[in-house]
Structure 1
Amino acid sequence: MLCTRRAVGMALCLFAASLPALASDLTISNFRVRGPAGGNDEFVELHNGSGAPVDVGGYALLASNASGTTGSRATLPSGTSIAPGCYLLLTNRASSGYSGGVVGDVGYNTGVTDTGGLAIADGSGNVIDQVGLSSGSAYGEGTRLASLGSSNTDQSYARRSDAAGNVQDSGDNAADFTVQAPSVPHNSASTCSDVGLSVSVADAAVPEGDGGTTALGFRLTLSKPAPAAGVQVRFTTADGAATVADGDYDALDQVVTFAAGDTAQTVTVTVHGDTRVEPDEDFAVHLSEPSNGLNIARGDAIGAILNDDAAEAEIFQIQGDGAASPFVGQPVITRNNIVTSVGPGGFTMQTPDRRDDHNRLTSNGVYVFTGAAPQVTVGDAVDVRATVAEYYGLTELTHALVSVDSSGHRLPRPVIFGRDVPSTDPAHLSCGTTNFECFEGMRILVLDGIVDRANQRYGNDPFAEVFVSADGTRSLRSQGVPFGTLPSDIHSGVWDGNPEVFEMDADALGAVPAGTGIDAGARFIADGVMSYSYGDYDFQPTRLRILDANPMPRPVHDSHDPHALRLGSLNMLRLCDTDGGNSQYECGDHGTPGEADLKLKLQRLSAYIGGVLKLPDVLAAEEVESLPVLQQLADQLAADYHITYSAHLVDGHDPSGIDVGFLVRTDRVRVDQVTQLGGDATWVDPGTGQSTYLHDRPPLLLEATMLDRRGFSFRLMAVHPKSRIGVDSGADAPRNRAKRFEQARDIAQDVQKLQTDARSTYEPLVVLGDFNAYPFTDGWVDVVGAIAGTYDDSANQLDLGGNIVRPALWNAVQSVPSNDRYSFLFTEQLGEIQGYQRAGSFDSGRDVPVAQVLDQALLDRQAQRCFRGFEYGRGNLDAPDQTQDDAAADPGIRKAIGVSDHDGFVLDLSCPGHARHRR
């Protein structure tokens, strides 16, 4: 069983077992790396085949692709254990993730390739069990399993087992596993398999009482009836916070006997009551010396003595000025507070304004957990007697006795969230060391809200929380290294990590119906209460009014000039062909696509290019595997819109085969020449010391002429440099920064040659594509600045020694309103800061969705004279996760929603009176 559950009086969690399980008894017993919902519809089931619990806190789920590249997918939370014969289920919670009906115990967010492998490793990195789906996987035992392919069907690999349910682990994957269809995963709540005769002792708790003695009974259970000869085990107590010396309880040491056929016995410990107001206390019990044939499955438990002597306190005293209440585990009475919200299992209440302590570090609100629909109404004045608990970081009152004093009261004034609250400065947060803790349980009013990220999908909730800002400004990336990182240069600046962003659970208190999707970019007014849920602060509105829904998709506008040249760019998120053997690594993130997968991808891209970008004259395409598959996209566009595009692509050196290319409308543009630039450029890789190709995806130059009575010749350079993965930190960071720098310098040299040759006086030059870089420095290397000629050595770790491109190019992104300057959404993990990731949380710290500009267009002076407009087409970033998945089955333009992880753009050039040079 998984040691995480709602506490009763106090947290009662398992101690380590007295008999440790053998490492070989923990196995990966069932898994799939693709399911009905797609490549992320994954689960990994672990099984404990021993007669004792296994403490798996700190264990890691590892994965490999078919080329042996490995990485971690999840780290199991501290305190996680798997009881004898029981299971633990890990599920992928990313977009289009796990869809099964058996709820996962632990989540992860990065998928496993169809031909990869899996391993479970202990806290020291020792691999306990592993399974592979190809010979190239870094993980596997004996003969590897065959990949189950790329069809989205409900099937998994399950270990063979005997009649008793014990799984087989011979050390040979092919012999141990069999295909299971449909898949039948088990979680910590599933029925456990029989692993022999064992005994377990359960935690127990009892109210202390005001005097006299109380019997505290501990239940000892056998996994099956005792044999004819009977069995026995020794039961002993040991001091904890409760001690024998203080008269809290009487020590006990006795042998417990199970007669033939018995399955359980109860052992009683005597507890002494008093009238002192004190925290809950506990002592330990321990099983030892089992008779022959008996295993100890769970040999340690806690006896909790629950203090029932309540202290009178105001809510702000209960909350305190720290992350946790100073009254945790203690009973309290708090009187005459106003109910501010009512939910299905509890309510919030707040101190009346006249009793406010005026301390910004303490909250005046608190959540009262009732476990069922509370019998109170908003505006009631209530007295509550309860025990204070911290539920995964949320201060709450449990075991509550509630009495209503009066009704119809005016609610306490809300805290207004806006420009200054919550703070945008991580060095001066609203609540001292956090930005939201001092508002926990309190009324909040948001007057200028904007949604930063649409609904996530979490577990069985397809439309879970959205991320929002209260000042009307999107969560955008700004210049500099991330907050908490040592500055790379004194002038680079530090990006603050957007501490003002928080989550909103719109349907938690019924402000919208369950299942309501809210698009990013939507503007709203809301009031409600601030909560805290599993590691994240969570605003729960009681009223929500959407002012501008920003429905998806949002196509670009029609060109104002019918004679304008419309240029576009789109990262196509690995448009891969069905040939899995034409590159070193598989092109697709989830394996080589099948014919049906590719057909759907082409239809969705066509809907985006035709419906959202409105059929640009030239489209630069990034992340395309081959010329034939780009031509298939051109054929799809011809079938859908009766427009003919010619496809152009030159293979590069990317290990997974992705390249840059062009689609050119033959009715609007004549292609004069397509040339790959820098394809032979090399550098010495500091990681290997070997000379290798500099550009994985070399730039591609298109020279063409617009076929219009006002047409003109032009040149486009499509680029897609190295990504920012591993740039901010890690052992490979210096190497990654250096390669990005050298690529940018090489591209800049080509740009300068083009803008200084004879044709530059009459031919516009545009450098466009996915730059994998911001329009400003990230503190390490300003890739865009180097290519544009605006590089500042003082603001970058690596010095260019003077700009290569002169005069500088202009970035058309600057013409876009600031709130619309983004083409990619990245969830930044900022670690254990600002009150996030407290003890017991399963999250990895503060995660912030950040809107970034990666897709850009740089214009030389001729192109600037012709510039008429720049706009992003919206459809891939702002819709809820579930909406993006559902859109695949939609007709028309909605089919485009979610086809890529980038939004594309269009750029209009019109050159009236310009030289009409024809080659």
Structure 2
Amino acid sequence: MPSKSSARLAALTVAAVCSAVSGVVLTAPAHADGVRIHDVQGTTRISPYAGQQVTDVAGIVTGVRDHGSSKGFWMQDPEPDADPATSEGVFVFTSSAPKVSAGDAVTVTGTVSEYVPGGTSSGNQSITEITRPQVTVVSSGNALPAPARIDARSVPDAYAPAGDAAANNSVNGLTLRPKKYALDLYESLEGMNVRVADARVVTATDPYTELWVTVKPHENPTRRGGTVYGSYASQNTGRLQIQTLGPTADFPSATVGDTLAGATTGPLDYTQFGGYTLVASELGTLRAGGLERESTHRQSSRELAVATYNVENLDPSDGTFADHADAIVHHLKSPDIVSLEEIQDNNGATDDGTVAADRTLGKLIDAVVAAGGPRYEWRGIDPVDGQDGGEPGGNIRQAFLFNPARVSFTDRPGGTSTTAVGVEKVKGAARLTASPGRIDPADAAWRNSRKPLAGEFVFRGKTVFVIANHFASKGGDQGLTAQYQPPVRSSETQRHAQATEVNAFVKDILEAQRNARVIALGDLNDFEFSGTARLLEDGGALWSAIKSLPKSERYTYDYQGNSQVLDQILISPSLRHPGAYAYDSVHLNAEFPTQISDHDPQVLRIRP
């Protein structure tokens, strides 16, 4: 992916001869006199003056950005027109620190450009800007235009219009309808001074000094203060990213459920990784919501507890082992089996051919013991160097931890990084040809991705088949605020193939033994309502147990204000009897600004 600065340069170069975003071919830059900001912005997402020179565009400076790669200032016309589709604000890109201040009345002469954060290949919408500006300060100390209120009443319930089929589903050429669609409303306010009040935090402060709030507190709320993402067809329209124009050291460290009390005010921008973003010149006061990290119930002597936990690129050099051990022992209550995702090799990201992870796993096991937990044993298969994706050199893989005092592992030789595990029927029961073993590692579905790890466990004399997964990431998908509606989810093609493979393997087990106990779990990088989940569940072979929870509790991850499911535990029919299982999504990471992983672990307790 190109850097932001290189993407900007490319966008400005292209804008001089054609508008790549709108597809409209332009001649050499023309000259426009007597143009107001709302004329520059127009009634669609693309300026009617894109690629043209404009002269003496007047406005009041509402915000100055003197840091980062996108230096410039926002200005706004204090005399709006009567059309709600036309924004009265615009960003002036100066490339170096601007020599203006908020409250200055200025005139700007320059070229109108459509800059796409992340480049056109990202699918993002563009920002209408005036570039290569000549700025004249007319007066200083002027009152800023009153901010437009963004609240539950002003934001429509519908998210975005369907894109124009003749333009690859782009919405760029459609006339904005800000009273009908949330994205149209935000676009009609692009560059303007806006305000939210008493906004609840729905994604915690991240390392990039940004957080997300909702202006619709009753929109699909979680019981802990977030906003549940439950459908492709019904987006959460009240979400808005917050950044700051002030010192980053003053930015609040917020947890989900906290509130930015009072007014948060500033220009409305559009960013590469967040879409519409309020860049605050005035931040509300952080009011703590008191959210605490969760703990699950300990399993009874008759219950088998199985967990999935993405430990986020864990290697021996990390300083998080004690924290992960505390999570496993005190928050997950020492599950009998733990499927770990993102275990790295013994030297982490050092790319020297190392693939073994015994030091990584041994250090975690020792930390669990030090935290008062059991001495787990582990099983896994080292991948082929550089073949399983993830951080280069890290060789991430899944691995099993299990408590030998509670459950035994059936070791059966033959499992290697390149050998496909099979299923055979012996004396009327299914068994794996190798344990542990990897599912069809040579299949194209697993190219540059983690291969599923299958193993046989025995609990109270009963065999349980466990399949640990870490499906392909969502990298490359278009964002929810993309110019293409609906956005293209290109990454799910590989996950669909992976789900089909795992489903077929489970069906092989069930064909050999109809009542076999099978658990498929892990970081599936997809939602419980997704096509990936449906393919895993195909034919009733599996069922995602997170769907047993109330909708307000169905999430394992928090992204852009959406509490969503990425990690799942699926069970075969013999484990799905009423009262035979209990599911818990243990919220101890995703909602907090300090995290040892960006995923929340999941625990399933069953009576096989």
Question: Which whole-Å CA distance do the structure 2 matches of 1:74 and 1:341 have between them?
Answer: 21
Contact 1:766 1:858 in 2 (8 A): yes
2:367 to 636, 646, 649: 636
Q: Is the 8 A contact 2:75 2:91 kept in 1?
A: yes
Contact 2:87 2:190 in 1 (8 A): yes
Deviation of the 1:645 alpha carbon: 2.6
Contact 1:571 1:622 in 2 (8 A): yes
Could you tell me how far 1:870 is from its partner in structure 2?
1.1
| Equivalent position to 1:865, from 562, 579, 582 | 579
Summarize the alignment of residues 317-356 of structure 1 with structure 2, pairs less than 5 Å apart: 317=39, 319-322=41-44, 323-324=46-47, 326=49, 329-333=54-58, 349=76, 351=78
Aligned partner of 1:466 in structure 2 is 211
Which of 434, 439, 442 lines up with 2:189 in the alignment?
439
Match of 1:508 in 2: 245
CA distance in 1, matches of 2:378, 2:441: 30
Aligned to 2:352: none
- CA drift of 1:638 comes to 0.8
How far does residue 731 in structure 1 lie from its aligned partner after superposition?
11
SS in 2 for 1:606: helix
Structure 1 residues 713 and 546: alpha-carbon distance in aligned structure 2, compared to 1, 3 A threshold: farther
Matching of residue 811 in structure 1 with residue 549 in structure 2: no
The superposition leaves residues 751-775 of structure 1 with CA deviations (integer Å, 9 ceiling, x where unpaired) of: 5655625xx7xxxx64433344432
Q: Deviations over 1:507-545 (max 9, x none)?
A: 3258x9624333456554654234336665431343424
The one of 38, 49, 52 aligned to 1:316:
38
Deviation at residue 415 of structure 1 after TM alignment:
4.2
Q: Is the 1:424–1:500 Cα contact (8 Å) retained in structure 2? A: no
Take 2:137 and 2:410, find their aligned partners in 1: how far apart are those partners? 77
Q: Does 1:649 align with 2:399?
A: no
Aligned partners of 1:503, 1:412: CA distance in 2, in Å? 17
Letter in 1 for 2:269: Y
Residue 634 of structure 1 deviates from its aligned partner by 1.8
C-alpha separation in 2, matches of 1:412 and 1:730:
35
Tell me by how many angstroms 1:467 deviates. 4.2
Q: Could you report, residue by residue, the CA deviation over 1:197-243 in whole angstroms, capped at 9, with x for unpaired residues?
A: xxxxxxxxxxxxxxxxxxxxxxxxxxxxxxxxxxxxxxxxxxx879x
For the 8 Å contact 1:315–1:351, the answer to whether it is kept is: no
Report the equivalent of 1:284: none
Q: Write the letter of the residue equivalent to 1:465.
A: E
Assess, with a 3 A threshold, how the Cα gap between structure 1 residues 77 and 330 changes in structure 2: closer, same or farther: same
What does residue 703 of structure 1 align with?
A: 458
Equivalent residue letter for 2:87: S
Distance 1:361 1:683, change over 3 A: same
Give RMSD over aligned pairs. Answer: 5.1
Give CA deviations for 1:714-771 in whole Å, capped at 9, x if unaligned.
73624216425689899999777545422321123325655625xx7xxxx6443334
Q: How big is the shift at 1:665?
A: 3.8
1:593-672 residue pairs with structure 2 within 5 A? 597=317, 600-624=319-343, 626=357, 629-641=360-372, 643-651=373-381, 655=387, 659-665=397-403, 669-671=406-408
1:248-269 superposed Cα distances (whole Å, 9 cap, x missing partner): xxxxxxxxxxxxxxxxxxxxxx
Name stretches of at least 5 consecutive residues in structure 2 with no aligned partner.
11-27, 67-71, 116-126, 164-175, 221-225, 344-355, 389-394, 413-420, 422-431, 478-487
* Aligned-partner residue type, residue 328 of structure 2: I
Question: 1:478 deviation in Å?
Answer: 5.7
1:666 and 1:865 mapped to 2: Cα distance? 26
The equivalent residue for 2:136 is 399
CA contact under 8 A between 2:36 and 2:57: conserved in structure 1?
no
The SS at the match of 2:216 is coil
Give the letter aligned to residue 648 of structure 1. Answer: W
Give the Cα separation in 2 of the matches to 1:678 and 1:447: 61
Match of 2:307 in 1: 568
Tell me the equivalent position of 1:538.
Answer: 277
Deviation of 1:855 after TM superposition, in Å, equals 1.8
**CA–CA distance in structure 1, aligned partners of residues 490 and 197 of structure 2:** 45
Per the alignment, residue 359 of structure 1 pairs with: 83
| Partner-residue secondary structure (3-state), 2:529 | coil
Give the letter aligned to residue 365 of structure 2: A
Q: From the superposition, tell whether residues 437 and 772 of structure 1 become closer, same or farther in structure 2 (CA, over 3 Å).
A: closer
Q: How far did residue 341 of structure 1 move?
A: 7.1
Distance 1:383 1:746 in 2: 68
Indicate the residue corresponding to 2:530 in structure 1.
Answer: 777
Larger relative contact order (Cα-Cα within 8 Å, sequence gap ≥ 6): 2
Shift of 1:699: 1.6
Pair 1:508–1:816, CA change in 2 (3 A): farther
Q: Where do 1:216-231 residues align within 5 Å? A: none
Q: Is the 1:649–1:660 contact (alpha carbons within 8 Å) kept by the matching residues of 2? A: no
Give, as a single letter, the amino acid of the residue that structure 2 aligns with 1:466.
L
Q: Provide the residue aligned with 1:904 in structure 2.
A: 601
Cα deviation, 1:859-915, whole Å, max 9, x if unaligned, reads 44456413344122322x4445xx5xxxxxxxxxxxxx23x4532122345x6xxxx
CA contact (8 A) 1:786 1:804 kept: no
Distance in 2, Cα, partners of 1:435 & 1:678? 58
Partner AA of 1:768 in structure 2: L
C-alpha change, 1:547 and 1:318, in structure 2 (3 Å) is same
What letter corresponds to residue 293 of structure 2 in structure 1?
R
Once the two structures are superposed, residues 327-374 of structure 1 have per-residue CA deviations (whole angstroms, 9 ceiling, x without a partner) of 95311456xx8x97798886755646xxx5342211234568994574
- 1:567–1:775 Cα change, 3 Å: same
Contact map agreement 1:325 1:395 (CA 8 A) in 2? no
Q: 1:648 to 1:76 in 2, by over 3 A?
A: same
Aligned pairs for 1:477-876 (under 5 A) are 502-505=240-243, 507-508=244-245, 514-519=250-255, 522-524=258-260, 526-532=263-269, 537-541=276-280, 542-546=282-286, 548=288, 554-558=293-297, 566-575=305-314, 597=317, 600-624=319-343, 626=357, 629-641=360-372, 643-651=373-381, 655=387, 659-665=397-403, 669-671=406-408, 673=410, 677=432, 679=434, 696-705=451-460, 715=464, 717-720=466-469, 722-723=471-472, 737-751=496-510, 753=512, 756=515, 766-778=519-531, 782=532, 784-788=533-537, 791=538, 803=539, 805=541, 809-818=542-551, 820-824=553-557, 852-859=564-571, 860-861=574-575, 864-875=578-589
Matching residue's letter, 1:436: Y
**Contact map agreement 1:384 1:401 (CA 8 A) in 2:** yes
Give the structure 2 partner of residue 299 of structure 1. Answer: none
The C-alpha deviation readout for 1:263-296, integer Å capped at 9, x for no partner, is xxxxxxxxxxxxxxx64xxxxxxxxxxxxxxxxx
Q: What is the TM-score normalised by the length of structure 1?
A: 0.44
TM-score (norm 2): 0.62
Q: How many pairs were matched up?
A: 487
Per-residue Cα deviation, 1:37-60 (whole angstroms, up to 9, x for no partner): xxxxxxxxxxxxxxxxxxxxxxx9
Q: Following the alignment from structure 1 to structure 2, what is the Cα–Cα distance between the partners of residues 389 and 417?
A: 36
Distance of 2:310 and 2:380 partners within structure 1: 16
Structure richer in helix, relative to its length: 2
After superposition, the Cα gap between the structure-2 partners of 1:730 and 1:660, relative to the gap in structure 1 and judged at 3 Å, is: closer
Per the alignment, do residues 732 and 359 of structure 1 end up closer, same or farther by CA in structure 2, a change over 3 Å counting? closer
Q: Partners in 2 of 1:416 and 1:634 — Cα distance? A: 49
Counterpart position of 2:69: none
1:503 partner SS: strand
Farther-moved stretch of structure 1 (385-394 vs 813-822) = 385-394
Give me the whole-angstrom Cα distance separating, in 1, the residues matched to 2:556 and 2:439.
Answer: 30
In 1, the alpha carbon distance for the partners of 2:8 and 2:402 equals 56
- Between Structure 1 and Structure 2, whose CA radius of gyration is higher? 1
Name the counterpart of 1:425.
160
Note if contact 1:751-1:787 (Cα within 8 Å) is conserved in structure 2: no
Which one-letter code corresponds to 1:812 in the other structure?
Answer: A
CA gap of 1:753–1:774, structure 2 versus 1, over 3 A, is: farther
- The answer on whether the counterparts of 2:100 and 2:137 sit within 8 Å (CA) in structure 1 is no
After superposition, what is the alpha-carbon deviation per residue over 1:595-623, rounded to whole angstroms, capped at 9, x for unaligned?
6x16x353342233234434334323234
